Structure 1
Amino acid sequence: MRKILLLSLSIILFIGCQKDETNPTENLTTGKVTGTVLSNNGQQSIGGALIFSFDDDHELIYTRSDENGQFVLQLPTGNREIHIQTGDGSNFRTNFSVDIQKDITLTIDGEQSKLNQVANIAYVSGSFDVIEDLISNLGYNATQISFSDLADYNIVSQYDIIFLNCGSRNASMASLNNTIDVNLAQFVTNGGSLYASDWDLAYLMGGTSNVTGCNMPGGFIPDTMLCSATSGTSGFYNGVQIVDPLLASSVGFSSFDLEYDLGGWQQIQMYDSNYWTCLVELNSQALMLKTDSFFDSSLVTNPVGNDTNDEWVTICHIPPGNQNNPITITINQSALNAHLAHGDTLGSCDANSNGGTIYYTTFHNHASGNIGNSEAILNYVILNL
């Protein structure tokens, strides 16, 4: 999947049917498409997915699925290609054609509305976390790689997404840390996406197995952007807030209780809000962060991941007359020139480089196995990397 340099813009998130004009589909003969977005095994509905198509002028018409995965999209009559994507569409998506008829609502079969895995996904086993179970429960596949495999960039660069389970940073092999940190920096710079939980913040900030304080040696995120310490205490934390609107609408709740069943979890002491976006917090303390900001120009090589995606390209769609409301989509290369002709640009709207996305959560799959509402949030992370 090619992710190409782009201006830094913010995605404005929309719920409900939208067209890139002041009066959506007004004065057009239209019909509707409805359905439910599902995970690959058909067992989990997917909220917050982007469902879109184009009119005859290549203008985008779109909606998002609600917390139950359901959507309704109104389109001009004729043969239309429907796209369903999460994240920027480079890792999870599906597309199919439908015949839109006047004043008719077409219900899409669940087999058509399943999100396909496009990404090559890897995970590193940890001592306290099993994100691979959640990946499998959604019907997707992840390959296990070892801590030492992270020291081989030929292995790392095969993947689009790498999940780092809490406790995977091997203190007995600390001599590999510097090499691994550089490899992960190169991975993200060249389009790879990374998830780290709890103690595995050490891959980002430095440290042997966890982060005991600010300015630890190692890592690849600048020390001025994030500070954490293993000072969290076990117990239930009530009234945790989801402060990201799309995440809240995707999971169907904005407040929940969160259990940390192990002590010594990574508490975030400070983060740069221009570099990180906070998605979940408790009393203004960040519990979940996301960034698209990391990029090291000295590490630019070939894009990482699945080479079979070369015919697909991520673009920032710029609505005519509404340049402040761009939206990221992934389209077939054959349609690119038509989109560039009316002002769209290559790459993701919210990235200031061709780099990938990093998610970090202070919480993870519980050692006891019962993770409650945080499972819905982690499912969202999986599908939006």
Structure 2
Amino acid sequence: MKQNYLLIMLCSLLLLANCKGDDSVTPEENPIKVVSTGKVEGKVFAKNGTKPIGGAIVFTTDSQSNIYHTYSNADGSFSLTAPEGKTTLHIQTGDGKNFRTELPVTIKKNETVTVAATDSKLDQIAKMAYIKGSYDEIEAIITSLGYTATEITYQDLKNINTISQYDIIFLNCGSRTYAQTGTSMPSNDANVYSNLSTFVSNGGSLYSSDWASAYLVGGNTNTENCNAPGGFINDNLLCLKDIGTATNYIGCSVSNPALATALGFNTLDIQYDMGAWEKIQNYDPAFWDVLVQKGNEPLMIRTGHYTNPSAPQTPVGTSLNNNHITICHHTASGNNITITINQNAWNAHQAHGDTMGPCTGNSSSGNIYYTTFHNHASGNIGKAGPILEYVILNL
């Protein structure tokens, strides 16, 4: 009888020990350890303080460099469960190299801490530039978000020392016209294409829209045919023709799940208010990710796979990233995430099995985004506006 009584008491104690409620969590990298936690919540905003940012990764680490992360909703809101104690909250978009914010927080056991909106605004780390276009003004969207970009010229693209100081370059539709370039044959300017190739190969990112496809695959003011002369992306990877007509594309789909979640919608109508816009004829799906499409027709694509082994190694980007590195954080669940961290924390992350460089794409190259649409002169671009905002913050 006494043995039975002791057994019952032992079982009761075990049950109590395992009923900890919301104040405990099991780190994904260390499934044996259980730690006391609290919550931190808030909203991620652009620098203007009014535009909510969806799809931003919000994370913190404990003393053993275990990562606890979540993503902001389409309305910018987030709620993160993390270990109690003083820590640093990281907010990043893209891989965190170009836009990120860090702020100290104290997580309290079983309590929720709210981050002030003034502290959760996404900072611009990148140095950005744009080339003025004739029909497109991505710089207007950049400014509306509270960020800054420097105007450069087509001629500046001929000097790698000039463009290498930037992290991101925006190539507006219509920026290759004679009025912008000062030359009638930009397709023959191999120096520009070589410099853009070097820029991306060394970590710089590009955004190109509509007629600015000629920077990528060749052409004069735009790309009239496949295999056009010039460009730095091989013709077998992408083919475009300027055969689009003025029309409305009804029921386009946001085919990338992460983009759809960040935006809060997965369908939209796109107004093409000018003719001769660039239609994607074919592309290499191993090289490009399709983000927006109409049926089987890609309308917005992205790659992080560009590489040019013969490109010279040239430092690219702002000095603010000199003490930060981009890594792929490996979780036990296989849900790997790309983040940018202080390089002093690398040894601890490496001990977890994390690897240098992003989780996808080429480890040393930047991203290239291409959209067949852009912000129109009337400014009435509907749901395409949030998509272009996403592009800016995720380059």
Q: TM-score, normalised by structure 1?
A: 0.92
**Equivalent runs, 1:135-284 vs 2, <5 Å:** 135-171=142-178, 172-173=182-183, 174-175=185-186, 177-284=189-296
Q: Is it true that 1:384 corresponds to 2:394 in the alignment?
A: yes
What SS is found at the alignment partner of 2:161? Answer: helix
1:54–1:80 contact (8 Å) kept in structure 2: yes
Cross-structure match for 2:22: none
Structure 2: runs of 5+ lacking an equivalent: 1-24
- Say whether 1:102 aligns with 2:109: yes
Q: Are 2:26 and 2:33, in contact at CA under 8 Å, matched by a contact in 1? A: no
* Cα separation, partners in 2 of 1:200 and 1:20, compared to 1, 3 Å: farther
1:70-107 deviation digits (Å, cap 9, x = unpaired): 00000011111110000000000000111111111000
* TM-score, normalization by structure 2: 0.90
Quote the Cα distance in structure 1 between the aligned partners of 2:177 and 2:363.
31
Q: 1:148 to 1:20 in 2, by over 3 A?
A: farther
Q: What is aligned with 1:366?
A: 376
CA–CA distance in structure 1, aligned partners of residues 106 and 138 of structure 2: 39
Question: Is the Cα–Cα contact under 8 Å of residues 261 and 367 in structure 1 kept in the other structure?
Answer: no
Matched residue, 1:353: 363
RMSD: 1.7
Between the aligned partners of 1:85 and 1:283, the Cα distance in structure 2 is 32
**2:97 corresponds to 1:87:** no
Runs of 4+ aligned structure 1 residues displaced above 4 Å come to: 22-26
Q: Percent identity?
A: 50
Residue by residue over 1:240-266, the C-alpha shift from the partner in whole angstroms, topping out at 9 and shown as x without a partner, is 000000110111100011100111100
CA contact (8 A) 1:35 1:110 kept: yes
Q: What is the letter of the counterpart of residue 171 of structure 2?
A: L
Kept in 1, the 8 Å contact 2:291–2:301? The answer is yes
**Counterparts in 2 of 1:18-97, with a 5 A limit?**
21=28, 27-97=34-104
CA drift at 1:368: 2.2
Secondary structure at the counterpart of residue 52 of structure 1: strand
Comparing 54-63 and 370-379, the one that deviates more: 54-63
Residue type of the alignment partner of 2:392:
I
Distance 2:227 2:189 in 1: 16
Q: 2:310 aligns with which of 298, 304, 312?
A: 298
C-alpha displacement at 1:22, in angstroms?
8.1
Secondary structure of the residue that 2:345 maps to in structure 1? helix
C-alpha change, 1:313 and 1:19, in structure 2 (3 Å) is farther
Deviations 1:255-303 (A, max 9, x none): 0111001111000000100000000000110000000011111113133
Give the superposition deviation at 1:375.
Answer: 0.4
Output the CA distance in 1 between the equivalents of 2:226 and 2:321.
39
Structure-2 separation of matches of 1:141 and 1:352: 27
- Greater radius of gyration (CA): 2
Deviations 1:12-64 (A, max 9, x none): xxxxxx98628989842110000000001102000000000112321111000
Relative contact order: is structure 1 or structure 2 higher (C-alpha 8 Å, sep ≥ 6)?
1
Give the match's secondary structure for 1:183.
helix
d(CA) in 2 for partners of 1:59, 1:267: 45
Aligned-pair CA distance for 1:112: 1.1
Structure 2: distance between partners of 1:21 and 1:43: 34
Number of aligned positions between the proteins: 366
Contact 2:27/2:34 (8 A) holds in 1: no
Task: Please tell me whether residue 327 in structure 1 is matched to residue 333 in structure 2.
Answer: no
Conservation of the 8 A alpha-carbon contact between 1:19 and 1:60: no
- Cα distance, 1:19–1:274 mapped onto 2, change above 3 Å: farther
Match of 1:127 in 2: 134
